[in-house]
Amino acid sequence: MGMPEVTDVLSTESARMLSEFMALDMAEQVAAWRSLLPPPFAELDGEYEVQRGYIADPVARAFAEEHLFNENGPTGCWLGKCYQPLGQATGEGYNKSRIADGRIVRRGRFGTHLGRSFVDGRPSLMMTYSSFRTGTQGATDLVDEMRKLTDGVYVGIGTQRISLVQARMVREQASTRPGPRTILDEMWEDGQLPQDQPCCQNERTVATGVFVLAGPVEKAVGPDDPAAEAFTA
């Protein structure tokens, strides 16, 4: 049996609300996110499918298709996020992607807890990539924040702790260091990191867009190689 479709796990009302949210432009989606509350902590449990149509802006959508949803890209085609609550207040999770040979990979670990939003100071389910050794995501202190739109539909927003000077340093170091280029390198080259104006507010990037998850569509099975993305105390 294959993985169920999102339409199989959402009620008619949830599917309607998802469709209406996806029709909003980016500014409206961010404004809507600000009005939402986080889900009960243990509610996010399992593997959730990202909704690819959530980006209304054609330029931003093209960038996402190239860098987030490209099986031949450095991180593969992003399929969604997965959550494993380990109690009533803390847990962990990982990202799920499909790579060029068709394999599904589970990596990009993060810690989870309920906390105060970096965006508006209100409660959010916080996802901290620096909790594990996750490369660029952890090095830039990426934090995603989840809030609940309706049953089975969750909206996230992310910020990073990276200044314009730090972005320049990462880009300059990338040209001389061995190993594969990162998504941050490509964002710089494509002009996604501002090069002539501040990109941060209170030491974190300004949130300008969201992502949407629906499910769960499967039970969480855990990351492929936990030791490679070990916990950072």
Q: What is the pLDDT of residues 126-170, one digit of tens each?
A: 999 989 987 767 667 889 999 999 999 999 999 887 654 365 455
CA distance 38 to 43: 10
Q: Is the pLDDT of residue 109 over 80?
A: yes
Q: Is the pLDDT of residue 201 over 50?
A: no
**Is residue 66 very low, low, confident or very high in pLDDT (cuts 50, 70, 90)?**
confident
pLDDT per residue over 21-63, tens digit each?
999 988 899 999 999 999 999 999 999 999 987 676 777 778 8
Mean of the per-residue pLDDT values of the chain:
83
What is the architecture of the domain spanning 6-114+123-129+144-158+206-220? Beta Barrel (2.40)
Q: What share of the chain is helix, strand, coil (3-state, %, to 5)?
A: 30, 30, 40
The answer to whether 158 and 207 are in contact (CB under 8 A) is yes
Whole-model pTM: value is: 0.81
| Token pair 């300059």 in the structure block, residue | 172
